[in-house]
């Protein structure tokens, strides 16, 4: 039975991805609620039915009081079957209807609604560009992805568990009191007006207060995760106390914002007690007065008393549910600041997979300043022929990394264009472009998974033998066999820790090399690929790198000039431009910037800050 209701909605159902999600809260929520339309309608109808049953039972109990005023034998003779029917309804039908109500809420909606939002939100965020991630804390992004779904689920739950029920109950209460005596509605209407005013006052303040508290909690998460992620730097620079102060500032801000939110609930609770006192005295006192005047029965007084006591018990719950609803919407609104951000780097509408063709890379008038008007690249023109090996050097900030990021289309080009095999990379799909490019970075972070999973990331469909061969070529196989993690997993099954922290820099780099070797892409980008290796291992891997380069187009960024001196061409970049281009010997003979770097390098290593 549970499985039936849990499977009423598939949280992973196909849906059209939106590059520009709704920026307003209601359309945002309605978009996620679309697969739940039928279930939500059923939940609303059941909530109204449950409220009607509750009010109806109070009316019935009033009727029972009036009936019992007669002779017991005659009561059973006249109303026996009605009483039996009432008992059957209470024992059988009422639990069935309420059971169906909670099954829909607890088993069909709650587990699936949050799951759907978390899945789609994660999918949306994963489509963002590298630049987008570089502008925010990973911890804050993750926190919003994690806290938004349960908040949205709780908001939906409160709509049907409390708000719809409460509205139906109030309407039913008014009808019941009006049926007994229209004058009994007057104190109820007056109370409801004051109650509604209190709700409006509370809700207007709870939403912003909740969003501020949620923002503060996200800031705490971002700062704490930032410290944990960079724990080596924290310990190395002995900044334990500084990091605690940095976190305490955010934690104290979270405390203050939460305290401000809680003040609202205290005011609300005290005001609610006063209002409920007015409700009880007003309705019950008025009902007693009518009874004393002979215009209301004892049953009517009993029903009015039961109803007001029930409302008294419910009002706190309703108010709390309503404020919880708006508080959770505040959390969702804060999450929308991340989840609903437009996807700015997208495939063209008619984008096709990259067809390598002859593999020629052409860069024409390439200009990119990261929207700042300075820095980056300025008017780059370059052609790299198929199979050509090109070295790329320059001072820090010369534009080397920017050139590579634009080649991979981590950013959209501001001016000019890049073509591969005569196809503009902005007109092909991003995934197909990056499948044709293998890259080893200076600091290749690994996934917090097993060694096997990290290497197979290069080509998931590769066989075990192919994976091991790639590890051997990267001089990684022997040390991998000696690995063992804290759970006792050994060799290729050992976990490497977050970003590969359990391994040395050289070990991480060799696993990263194995990953790219296994990928076997036709275009190879090496960004200081051997900088984390010791001389002995570097010497062993250099032959592997040369083997990797065979038949591939290579762009190698290096500060150690001896590692690229043998390449076909060397490009020297300065201030976002290519200022020298040619083989090692030709550039030395020129006596220009490259020759100066060569003369000044120590042990074949370029000082990237060296002056001309």
Burial zone of 143 (CB within 10 Å; 0-12 exposed, 13-18 middle, 19+ buried): buried
Structural domain contains residue 221: yes
Specify whether 251 is located in the same domain as 302.
Answer: yes
Is residue 276 located within the same domain as residue 167?
yes
231-267: burial string, b at 16+ Cβ within 10 Å, e else: eeebeeeeeeeebeeebeebbebbeebbeebeebbee
Q: Is residue 447 part of a domain?
A: no
Task: Please check the confidence at residue 552 and state whether its pLDDT lies above 70.
Answer: yes
With respect to residue 92, please indicate whether it lies within any of the assigned structural domains: yes
413 assigned to some structural domain: yes
Q: Distance between terminal CA atoms of the chain?
A: 78
Residues 294 and 326 in one domain: yes
Please report whether residue 570 resides in a domain. Answer: yes
Q: Give domain status of residue 301, yes or no.
A: yes
Give residue 375's domain range: 354-436+524-529+553-612
Is residue 65 pLDDT above 80, yes or no?
no
Q: What is the pLDDT of residue 612?
A: 40
Could you report the per-residue pLDDT of 351-405, keeping only the tens digit for each? Answer: 999 988 888 999 999 999 887 766 789 889 999 999 999 999 988 888 888 899 9
SS3 state of residue 578: strand
pLDDT at residue 603 tops 70: no
Which one of 308, 339, 370 terminates a domain? 339
- What's the pLDDT score for residue 565? 86
On whether residue 579 sits in a domain, the answer given is yes
Which residue, 275, 309, 339, sits at the end of a domain?
A: 339
pLDDT at 518 over 50: yes
Instruction: Encode pLDDT of 101-121 as tens digits.
Output: 989 988 999 899 989 999 999
Rounded-to-integer distance, Cα 244 and Cα 370, Å: 34
- What is the value of pTM for the model shown? 0.75
Residue 319: pLDDT above 90?
no
Model confidence band, residue 188 (pLDDT cutoffs 50, 70, 90):
confident
* pLDDT band with cut points at 50, 70 and 90 for residue 199: confident
Q: How many domains does the chain have?
A: 2
To the nearest 10°, the Cα dihedral for 467, 472, 473, 475? 130
- Contact present, 449 and 495 (Cβ < 8 Å): yes
CATH of the domain at 285: 1.20.1560.10
- pLDDT for 477 beyond 90: yes
What is the three-class DSSP state of 496? Answer: coil
Rounded CA separation 597/582 (Å) = 15
Judge whether 233 and 242 are in contact, CB under 8 Å.
no
Same domain, 88 and 162: yes
Q: What is the DSSP string of 441-487?
A: -TT-PPPSSBHHHHHHTT-TT--HHHHHHHHHHTT-HHHHHT-B-TT
Among the candidates 283, 304, 339, a domain finishes at 339
**Is residue 109 domain-shared with residue 230, that is, in the same domain?**
yes
Same domain, 305 and 381: no
Residue 245 has pLDDT above 60, yes or no: yes
Q: Are residues 169 and 125 in the same domain?
A: yes
pLDDT at residue 155 in the model: 86
Range of lowest pLDDT (427-436, 493-502, 579-588)? 493-502
Same domain, 222 and 75: yes
Whether residues 266 and 361 fall in one domain = no
As a whole number, the mean pLDDT across the chain is 84
499 pLDDT more than 70 = no
- Checking if the pLDDT of 187 tops 50, the result is yes
* 397 Rama class: left (phi>0) / alpha (psi -120 to 50) / beta: left
**Residue 465 in domain:** no
Residues 117 and 253 in one domain: yes
**Whether 272 and 391 share a structural domain:** no
Which tokens in the block code for residue 241?
């106390």
CATH code of residue 376: 3.40.50.300
Q: What is the pLDDT of residues 226-240, one digit of tens each?
A: 888 788 778 877 888
């Amino acid at each position: 039975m549970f499985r039936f209701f849990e499977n009423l909605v598939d949280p992973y159902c196909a849906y059209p991805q939106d590059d520009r999600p709704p920026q307003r809260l209601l359309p945002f929520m309605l978009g996620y609620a679309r697969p739940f339309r039928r279930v939500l309608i059923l939940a609303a109808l059941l909530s109204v039915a449950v409220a009607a049953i509750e009010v109806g039972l109070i009316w019935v109990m009033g009727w029972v009081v009036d009936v019992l005023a007669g002779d017991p034998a005659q009561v059973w003779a006249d109303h026996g079957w009605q009483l039996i029917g009432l008992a059957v309804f209470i024992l059988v039908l009422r639990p069935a209807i309420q059971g169906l109500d909670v099954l829909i809420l607890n088993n069909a909606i709650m587990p699936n609604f949050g799951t759907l939002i978390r899945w789609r939100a994660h999918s949306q965020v994963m489509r963002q560009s590298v630049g987008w991630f570089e502008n925010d804390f990973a911890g804050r992004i993750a926190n919003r992805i994690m806290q938004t779904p349960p908040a949205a689920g709780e908001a939906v739950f409160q709509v049907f568990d409390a708000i719809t029920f409460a509205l139906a109950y109030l309407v039913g209460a008014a009808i019941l009191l009006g049926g007994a005596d229209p004058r009994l509605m007057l104190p109820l209407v007056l109370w409801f007006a004051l109650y509604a005013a209190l709700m409006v006052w509370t809700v207007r303040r709870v939403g912003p207060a909740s969003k501020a508290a949620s923002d503060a909690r996200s800031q705490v998460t971002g700062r704490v995760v930032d410290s944990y992620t960079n724990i080596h730097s924290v310990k190395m620079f002995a900044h334990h106390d500084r990091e605690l102060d940095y976190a305490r500032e955010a934690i104290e801000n979270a405390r203050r914002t939460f305290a401000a939110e809680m003040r609202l609930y205290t005011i609300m609770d005290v005001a609610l007690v006063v209002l409920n006192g007015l409700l009880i005295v007003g309705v019950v006192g008025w009902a007693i007065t009518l009874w004393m005047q002979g215009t209301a029965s004892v049953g009517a007084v009993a029903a009015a008393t039961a109803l007001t006591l029930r409302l008294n018990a419910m009002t706190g719950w309703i108010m709390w549910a309503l404020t919880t609803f708006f508080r959770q919407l505040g959390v969702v609104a804060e999450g929308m600041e991340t989840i609903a951000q437009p996807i700015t780097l997208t495939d063209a509408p008619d984008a096709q997979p990259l067809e390598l063709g002859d593999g020629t890379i052409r860069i024409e008038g390439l200009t990119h300043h990261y929207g700042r008007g300075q820095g980056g690249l300025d008017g780059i023109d370059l052609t790299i022929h198929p199979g050509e090996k090109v070295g790329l050097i320059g001072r820090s900030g010369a534009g080397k990394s920017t050139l590579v990021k634009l080649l991979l289309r981590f950013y959209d080009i501001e001016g000019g264009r890049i073509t591969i095999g005569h196809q503009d990379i902005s007109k092909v799909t991003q995934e197909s472009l990056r499948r044709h490019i293998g890259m080893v970075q200076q600091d290749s972070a690994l996934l917090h998974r097993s060694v096997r999973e990290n290497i197979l990331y290069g080509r998931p469909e590769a066989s075990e033998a192919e994976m091991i061969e790639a590890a051997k070529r990267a001089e990684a196989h022997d040390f991998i066999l000696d690995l063992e993690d804290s759970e006792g997993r050994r060799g290729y099954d050992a976990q490497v820790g977050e970003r590969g922290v359990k391994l040395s820099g050289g070990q991480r780099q060799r696993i990263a090399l194995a990953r790219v070797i296994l990928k076997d892409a036709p275009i190879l980008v090496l960004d200081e690929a051997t900088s984390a290796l010791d001389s002995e291992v570097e010497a062993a891997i250099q032959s592997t790198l040369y083997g990797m380069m065979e038949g591939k187009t290579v762009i190698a960024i290096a500060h150690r000039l001896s590692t690229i001196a043998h390449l076909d061409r060397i490009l020297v970049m300065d201030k976002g431009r290519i200022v020298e281009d040619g083989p090692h010997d030709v550039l030395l003979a020129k006596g220009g910037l490259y020759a100066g770097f060569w003369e000044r390098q120590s042990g074949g290593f370029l000082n990237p800050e060296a002056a001309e």
